[in-house]
Structure 1
Amino acid sequence: MSSYLRLSGINKTYGDFVALDNVNLDVAKGEFVTFLGPSGSGKTTTLMIIAGFEQATRGSVEIEGVSLSGLDPQDRNIGIVFQNYALFPHKTAADNVYFPLQMRGVKRAEGLKKAQAMLELVGLEGFAHRYPKELSGGQQQRVALARALVFEPDLLLLDEPLGALDKNLREQMQIEIKRIQRKLGVTTIFVTHDQTEAMSMSDRIVVFSKGNIEQSGPPLDIYHRPTTRFVADFIGESNLIPGHIANAAEGVVESPVLGTCRYLTNGQPSVSNGDEVAVVIRPEHMKLSRNPIEGRSNARMTIDTIVNYGDNALVIGHAGEQPIRVRVLGADVVILHEGDECCFSWTDDAVFLVTS
């Protein structure tokens, strides 16, 4: 992958606290990359260093090979949208969008024409003369997005911009932001702690934890092939079941919970006989039944709680001391009850191993 944005050896400390520890990342031109992680993981700090609002203790940020070191935020040609939108309350939508062009010396007539075109692109045709107080949260967010894009930035940074919106509007804006990003082809960094946003919007997800990048890759790779326990546990829902490698060549792991469990060796981490591992099986890749299902691996569990979502249900139980979570179709859950003992089953291709 050719690098458009490059982060090299980024380190950020606050006294004795290490916020970022040797972060390295290459982003291709036009790519939509999401920084995902819990609070305090370093994702927003990294974004602020790219934007120039924070200075790295060590390391460099480059766009197309040109260092941004020493440049103030306004000199970096980077558009940024914050969660609170930061619109000027005394300016109309058009004037808010025109503002960055005004700061770049663009004459008002030309600038307002560009602002109007950008408002139309984000779906706000006819809203140019409204003030922020006359706009809904979603409309304000679109104005902020138009303002960040109107001057044709080299890079677009989005810092949890959908956090203040309700669920339905947030989902609508996810689709809209991705549509606009594809249309303009602008290289985009999106920061969120919401896994659904990351999975649905990204070309690539970068998972942060404790100031480090845990894993980087396409959403489905991150989901189906996590490389660490943290990623397996943080992205979606996982059953992380302890075991040890019985036969690495043939793909056999022994587990006190699962018994003899087979896995497909292709694409798994490098392991040797006797290695301690965590067996990862996603809840939706398991089935529940009264009796063992032929052709699948089976183990027994006791149901503790059933959480109904309408079209599906999450069945939470235990096998010995090991918690087990299985997601089933809503129609199937009627045969199960809390306190029941039942079988949970899986196939070899549902098993993935993590070692760290």
Structure 2
Amino acid sequence: MLVAVLALSPFLISLGAVPAAAVDDGTLGIRPELESDFFHINLAPGAAIDANAIVSNHSAEPVTLLNYAVDGQSTPQGAFALAAQADTRTGVGAWVSLGADSITIPANSQLTVPFRLSVPENATPGDYAGGVIIESAAVQGETTSSGGDAALRLDVIQRQGVRIYLTVAGTAVSTLTHGDLGWTRGGESVTFTLPITNTGNTILYPTATLDVSGWIGATATLDFATPESILPGATLDLEATLTPAPFLQAGNAEAALSSEAGDELVGTSFVYAPWWFILVMVLALAALVFGIWRALLFVRRARRAFAQVAVSTSVPAEELAPPS
């Protein structure tokens, strides 16, 4: 049995994982004609613009590539990514028209790829993101086997893209909502998570810090990992890690969230102990309670015994009266 796996260029997973610059891996590249990094376009609803992307082929052979437009996405970790070709397109990916589905670039040369971006009349104001993708045909790799009937072949597809940032004219609304601040302990660290959602229509660039305080355990100030951005409508998780985690902790954690939408504080209690420590404490408390109960029972029985002895040895009142 043969299992074929497609290995994609790193740019497929997240274009935000690399520095904000035009994409060129030394073999193929794509960039705006008139800008150094990405397309930045401002249009009114119903307006359109013509622009050019430059595709470079640095190899000694001509290459034929698919080219298409897609929407942009914010990953759950806060990176920018371009959607897959099969994903539904509702913004920039749907509004960009390319002259052809594929292009051929001669060896060691560049090719201008024109496109038109047309904003619908009913488009809502705000920021949108997407991009133009170039994609090579799959390169079949070697088949390897680890024994038995299973075999593995690694096929490689190279996929690169140039971002398009579009602002549709109108009223800008910058709002950011958040969920509860949560935490989990794993191994020698504690990970704090703060979910945030961009409920406005502008791209936001949030940052956050975390203050940990307690009467037992750690007191520290941490930085949440800073996302590249969060697109309108996107949700992502900000994370901060306390390492090494204290053996015991009892106190509070407070996150200070800041963005173009404003500043907010989000807090939670922060209490934990190892399970075996809790078990030992419960057993110790049970032993203490049992000991106190036994002591009280002993005292009660002793008092009862003393009272019985006092009654049995008491002298009758007539015997204590003086003789007449």
TM-score by length of 1: 0.19
TM-score by length of 2: 0.20
Larger radius of gyration: 2
Higher helix share: 1
Higher strand share: 2
